[in-house]
Amino acid sequence: MYNPKSLKAEEFISHEEILESLDFAESHKNDAALINEILEKAAKRKGISHREASVLLACEDKNVIEKINKLAMEIKRDFYGNRIVMFAPLYLSNYCVNGCTYCPYHLKNKRIARKKLTQDEVRREVIALQDMGHKRLAIESGEDPVNNPIEYILECIDTIYSIKHKNGAIRRVNVNIAATTVENYRRLKDAGIGTYILFQETYCKESYESLHPTGPKHDYAYHTEAMDRAMEGGIDDVGLGVLFGLELYKYELCGLLMHAEHLEAVHGVGPHTISMPRIKRADDIDPDAFDNGIDDDIFAKLCAIIRISVPYTGMIISTRESAEVRARMLRLGVSQISGASRTSVGGYTEEVRPTDTEQFDVSDQRTLDEVVRWLMESGFIPSFCTACYREGRTGDRFMSLLKSGKIHDCCHPNALMTLKEFLEDYASEETKRIGDDLIKRELENIPTDKIRNICSRNLEEITEGRRDFRF
């Protein structure tokens, strides 16, 4: 039944294989020889399987957890350096025909104000986001074929890319909308999207069906096979995610990694990103009503294990989490974070009460300037770079650059250039001072003359206000 190359959800995410893996993990969690073997394999930086990762997750030995954390930090540093990519979500519409029991946008929620941005409102939101310094967005929408058909989403993408306010521009639009058809994925690809993101929510079919009792999202196979359709439609950067808290985390890790293995086996390229959301309080949603909540230690352990299991996959953590939790996760593997997010429709220019249409409570409420400063003070380089997909570095091209370690040559200078751009255009005096010092130090440390030349030349151009260089 289990077949990672199958295109059928129930064969590549085989329930039996997950249960067997969890049994195996439970009975080998104290098998020191096996655990060492797995850690040695992980240290080769080529990943480990869902079963091996499950053994590590089951193991409670503090020394082993320390070793996993150490390796996760090293892998993070080797593949991603100290760069952290910045983005913001943009909520287009909260009209939704689904019945997801954890999401306040569910059809039966009559308390929440329903709102869909007009193109003028999209323009205003985007200008507000550009004025903060954002260059990369993730658009979000409920599923409603009448109110938010694909044509509406495509029109919004066009509008977003067309706005050039002062020195601002949105250069990459990632899309988080419901599972759709190959034809619609092709249209999204043609509209120039970056990553197509779709959270699985839970990999357990039985729970999935009861958590999504009504609406098109109820169909487990259609949802789980969405990434294959996206890839068939030409989108080669796809982002996976589980909403932690809905099902047993051990089951979810195993399913998530099987999904990554499936994409690699069938399409030759694994997921571009994995998001790590945890269920949060929202309008008519009480996270305590779900039995599978995980504490910060388990959350951190999951993060580190994902990092060493799929070293080539970017990891994302949103403002659902507090600054403290985000700081911890950044060290263990997260490579992208959102900043100054609003999870309501129209939230960046809100005239009505901001919480009226909110999807979930935001824990990290800091401004983008504060988040950027905090990252720099914590030893990271915030990056507003979006070059990869415009330069055609997507799918397996991106992965092979990352695997060869050569991605640093592109990412590091680009991160510094786009940070410089942020500092010049949007930062407070204090953030600019800290950032300029950081860039100066980084330039001194860049080993090859080639990169130093690219960097300093472009930085000069930015300072002079000539923005015709390639990122």
Residues that bind ligand SAM (CB under 6 A): 102-103, 140, 142-143, 176-178, 198-199, 201, 217, 243, 277, 279-280, 282, 285, 320, 359-360
Distance in Å, CB of 76 to ligand SAM, minimum: 24
Task: State which residue, 204 or 243, has the beta carbon closest to ligand SAM.
Answer: 243
Task: State which residue, 96 or 308, has the beta carbon closest to ligand SAM.
Answer: 96
| Other CB atoms within 10 Å distance of the CB of residue 401 | 18
Distance in Å, CB of 226 to ligand SAM, minimum: 9
Going from the C-alpha of 96 to that of each of 76, 79, 139, 214, the distances in angstroms are 37, 39, 15, 11
Task: State which residue, 28 or 134, has the beta carbon closest to ligand SAM.
Answer: 134
Task: State which residue, 93 or 130, has the beta carbon closest to ligand SAM.
Answer: 93
Q: Which pair of structure tokens corresponds to residue 390?
A: 């415009």
Distance in Å, CB of 243 to ligand SAM, minimum: 4
How far apart (Å, rounded) are the C-alpha atoms in residues 219 and 205?
9
How far apart (Å, rounded) are the C-alpha atoms in residues 52 and 295?
23
Distance in Å, CB of 98 to ligand SAM, minimum: 6
Note whether 385 and 374 are within 8 A (CB).
no
Distance in Å, CB of 309 to ligand SAM, minimum: 21
Distance in Å, CB of 116 to ligand SAM, minimum: 13
Going from the C-alpha of 34 to that of each of 38, 55, 64, 282, the distances in angstroms are 6, 9, 12, 43
Note whether 318 and 277 are within 8 A (CB).
yes
Among the listed residues 402, 385, 230, the one whose alpha carbon sits nearest the alpha carbon of residue 310: 402
Strand duo 314-317 + 172-176: pairing = unpaired
> DSSP per residue over 10-77, as a string?
HHHT-HHHHHHHHHHHHHHTT-HHHHHHHHHHHHTTS---HHHHHHHHH---HHHHHHHHHHHHHHHH
How far apart (Å, rounded) are the C-alpha atoms in residues 237 and 271?
7
Beta bridge partners of 239: 197, 273
Task: State which residue, 201 or 228, has the beta carbon closest to ligand SAM.
Answer: 201
Which residues lie below 8 Å from residue 416, measured CB to CB, with a gap of 6+?
381, 439, 442, 443, 455, 459
Task: State which residue, 288 or 464, has the beta carbon closest to ligand SAM.
Answer: 288
Distance in Å, CB of 321 to ligand SAM, minimum: 10
Distance in Å, CB of 113 to ligand SAM, minimum: 16
Among the listed residues 205, 207, 179, 222, the one whose alpha carbon sits nearest the alpha carbon of residue 101: 207
